[in-house]
Amino acid sequence: MDAASTFGAYMLETAASVVLAIVLFGFFRAYRRYFLLAWSLSWLAFAVYFGALGGVYYIIEWGESESTLRHVFSSVWLVAAYWQIIFLLGGIYEIATGRRFEWRWMGIALAAATAWGVLLDVSTLELERHLRSLLRIGLQAGATGITFLVAAGVFAWKSKSRHSTGYWLVTATHGGYGLLQLHAVLLYTGVFEPAYASYLNFIDLLGVFLIGLGVAVWLLEEERAHVAAISERLQLAAIEQRELEAQLRQSQKLESLGRLAGGVAHDFNNLLTVVAGHADLICSTTTDQKVAESANHILRAHDRASELSQRLLTFARKRPPKIELVEIHQLLEDQMPLWRRLLGSQVDIDIKAGEDTLFVSGDPGQLEQVFMNLVANARDAMEHGGNLDIIVNRLERTSPIVFKNVVVPPGRWISVQVRDTGTGIKDEVLDSIFEPFFTTKPVGKGTGLGLSTVLGIVQQAKGHVGLDTAEREGTTVHVILPEAVEKESTSSRPIASIENLEGEGTILLVEDEKEILDLTGYMLERFGYRVIKCIAPEAAWKAAEDFHRDIDLLLTDIAMPGLNGVDLAKQIREKYPDILVLFMSGHAQDSDQFASLPAGASLLNKPFGPSDLARKVKDVLANKKNAVK
C-alpha cells in the first residue's frame, strides 16, 4: 500500500474515533452514566493518537524526519495512547462494580501517563530502530490490547445475566480489537511481516467501525430495555391509580352513606325523644296498671331503638365505642332472627355453646357488627347453600395458638368460631384478606371493608382474628377475645322522682321541632320551671332581650336552620353573660355540628326522658348557685 493510502487510513481512523466519541458523549448526556463519558474521552484520545501517528508518518514520508515537529507528534501519540487506556479502564471499572470512578484518581493516572509518554519518547531517541519500536509501539499496543481484552471479559461476564445481543457484540468487537493490537505488536516490532501487513491500518479502521457498531447496538438495547421498564412502571402506576380512584369513590360513597346515616339518626333521635318523653309522663301520672305496663313496653322499645340510633351514629362518625360487659352467648342469640333472614332457607345456622356464662368487654353494637359481617361473608361463600356453625368456648392456654395469619399469645380467651362449608379462601390472597377495599367478590358485590372492619373492632377490644381455610373446603374465622370478669349489673332504669328533681328558675327553650319544643317545655314546667319557648333562633334572641333579667338558663338545640345553637348561645352570652347554657343534640359528638362547641360546654344527648332532662338542668343550675355562694 502506498504512502498516500497509509496516511489516508490514519486520517479515517481519526475521523471514525471522533465520531464514536461524539456518539458516546451523546449517550452520556441522555443517561448521565459516567462510564459513557470516560469512553467518549477514551475514543477522543484515540482520535488524537491516530492523528498524531498520521502526522509522524507524513513528516517521515514528505518532510524532515528529524524535525522538532516530528518529536512533538511522537510524544503526543504516546501520551494519547496511554490516556485512552486509562479512560477505557475507568469505564470498565464502573460497569464491573456499579460504582463511579473518582476523577481525582483519574487525574493522577493521566498525569502519570503524560510523564511516562514524554519520558519514553525522549529516552528512546538514540536507540536502534528495532529496539525503539519495541519500547514505543510494542509496549503501547500490548497495553491497549490487554485493556480491550479485559473489557471483553467484563462484558462476557455481564452478558450471562442479561442474554443480550448487544453485550455479546461488544464482547466480540472489543476482544477482536484487543487481539488485533497484540498482533500488531509482532508486526511493528518486526517479528514477522505477512503479506497483509501493509493493509493493517485499514484492518484497524474496520475494527474501530465494528466497535462503534457493537457499542451502538448495545446502547440501543439498553435504551429499549429502559423504555420498556418505564412503560411497565407507567402501566403499573396507571393500574394503581385506577385502584386508588376506585377506593376513593368507594370511600366517598361510604362517606355519603355515613352522612345519610347521621342525618337519619338525628331525626330518629328527635322522634324517640317525643316517644320516650310521653311514655315517661304516662308512667309517672297514670294510676291504671295496664296503661303503665303498656307505657313501660314503649320505654323498653325506645331503649332498643335508642341503641340502634347510637349504632347509626357510630357508623356515621366513628363515634368512640361504648365499652361494657357483654355476655357473648346472649349477644349471639339476640342476633339469630336477623341472621336467619339474612341467610335464607338454603343455609342452616346453629350456635353451639356450653352452659357456662362467658363475658367479654366491648361495645355491643360493634361486636354485633363483627359477627354480622362474618355471617354475611359466609352466606356469600355458600351460594348453593350449606351449614354455618357458630361455636363458643373458653380457651385457657399456656402456649401460643397458631393460625395461618396470626399467633395468639397464651392466656384466658373467649373463642367464637364462625365455620362455613363454602368455597374457602386461596392461599395466595391470605396476606391481603384483611386489607381495606380488598375483595375476592365480583365488581359491585362487595366493598372490601367487611374483614378489615372485623379486624379493627376486634383489635380495639385487644383480641385477635385467626383464619383456618382451604380452597373448596370452607372457612373458619376465629374471633379470640380476652375473657372479662362478671360484675354486678347497674344497668336498670332509674325510677323517676319528680319531687327529688324539681327546681326553680326561668329557662329559655329553643328547638326547631315543634313536638320536641312542646314536650320539653311541658316536662320542664312539671318540674317547677318557668319556660319561654321559641321555635326559631331569631325569636330566642328577641326573648333574651326582653327577659334577660329573669332568664337563668338557655336550653337550645345545636342543629337548627339559619343560626345554629352554638352561635346563638355565643351571641346571647356576649351580651348577657349571667345566662347559663345547656345544649342538646341528636348528632354524634364528633360531627361537624360540634366543631365550634366551647370547651367544657354542657350537653344533653337525645333521646332523653323527663328524669334525664330534669337531672341535667338541675346540675347546670346548681353550678351557678355554687358560684354565687
Contact between residue 198 and residue 252 where contact means Cβ atoms under 8 Å apart: no
Cell numbers standing for residue 295: 307505657
Contact between residue 481 and residue 412 where contact means Cβ atoms under 8 Å apart: no
What is the end-to-end Cα distance of the chain in Å, rounded? 125
The β-bridge relationship of strands 475-482 and 464-469 is antiparallel
Distance CA 311, CA 304 (A): 11
Cell numbers standing for residue 564: 345554629
Burial bucket for residue 162 (CB in 10 Å: 0-12, 13-18, 19+)? middle
State residue 194 phi and psi, 5-degree precision.
-75, 175
137 C-beta neighbours (distance < 10 Å), count: 19
| CA distances for 119 relative to 69, 79, 80, 106, 138, angstroms | 17, 10, 14, 20, 16
Cell numbers standing for residue 436: 381495606
Cell numbers standing for residue 249: 369513590
Cell numbers standing for residue 350: 346453629
The list of the chain residues with pLDDT below 50 reads: 318, 488-499, 626-629
3 state SS of 64:
coil
Distance CA 458, CA 461 (A): 5
Distance CA 528, CA 356 (A): 50
Residues sharing a CB contact under 8 Å with residue 409, sequence separation 6 or more, in sequence order: 400
**pLDDT for residue 568:** 92
Query: Cell numbers 323527663 correspond to what residue?
Result: 610
Burial bucket for residue 561 (CB in 10 Å: 0-12, 13-18, 19+)? exposed
Contact between residue 404 and residue 370 where contact means Cβ atoms under 8 Å apart: no
The β-bridge relationship of strands 506-510 and 551-557 is parallel
DSSP string covering 13-57: HHHHHHHHHHHHHHHHHHH--HHHHHHHHHHHHHHHHHHHHHHHH
Distance CA 94, CA 155 (A): 12
The closest alpha carbon to 213, from 177, 160, 159, 162, belongs to 177
Domain ranges for the chain:
3-235, 322-482, 498-628
The closest alpha carbon to 34, from 112, 114, 106, 83, belongs to 106
CATH architecture label of 3-235: Up-down Bundle (1.20)
User: Which amino acid is residue 464, in one-letter code?
Assistant: H
Query: Cell numbers 328524669 correspond to what residue?
Result: 611
Contact between residue 498 and residue 284 where contact means Cβ atoms under 8 Å apart: yes
Provide the CA 543 distance to its chain's centre, in angstroms.
55
Distance CA 90, CA 88 (A): 5
Peptide bond into 577 cis (omega under 30): no
The closest alpha carbon to 300, from 587, 522, 492, 523, belongs to 492
3 state SS of 129:
helix
Give the helix/strand (H/E) hosting 392.
Answer: strand 386-397
Which residues, listed in sequence order, are joined to residue 347 by a DSSP beta bridge? 386
**Contacts for 426-429: CB closer than 8 Å, 24+ residues apart:** 426/471, 427/471
User: Which amino acid is residue 423, in one-letter code?
Assistant: T
The closest alpha carbon to 280, from 627, 560, 610, belongs to 610
**pLDDT for residue 572:** 93
State residue 583 phi and psi, 5-degree precision.
-90, 155
The CATH code belonging to domain 498-628 is 3.40.50.2300
3 state SS of 61:
helix
373 C-beta neighbours (distance < 10 Å), count: 19
3 state SS of 371:
helix
Distance CA 365, CA 180 (A): 85
Q: Report the predicted TM-score, pTM, of the whole model to 2 decimal places.
A: 0.43
Fold of 322-482: Heat Shock Protein 90 (3.30.565)
Provide the CA 82 distance to its chain's centre, in angstroms.
54
3 state SS of 606:
coil
Cα torsion angle, 250, 251, 256, 261, sign: positive
Burial bucket for residue 575 (CB in 10 Å: 0-12, 13-18, 19+)? exposed
Distance CA 83, CA 100 (A): 18
Cα torsion angle, 285, 286, 292, 297, sign: negative
Give the helix/strand (H/E) hosting 360.
Answer: strand 359-362
Which residues, listed in sequence order, are joined to residue 510 by a DSSP beta bridge? 534, 556
306 C-beta neighbours (distance < 10 Å), count: 20
**pLDDT for residue 229:** 82
Distance CA 363, CA 91 (A): 67
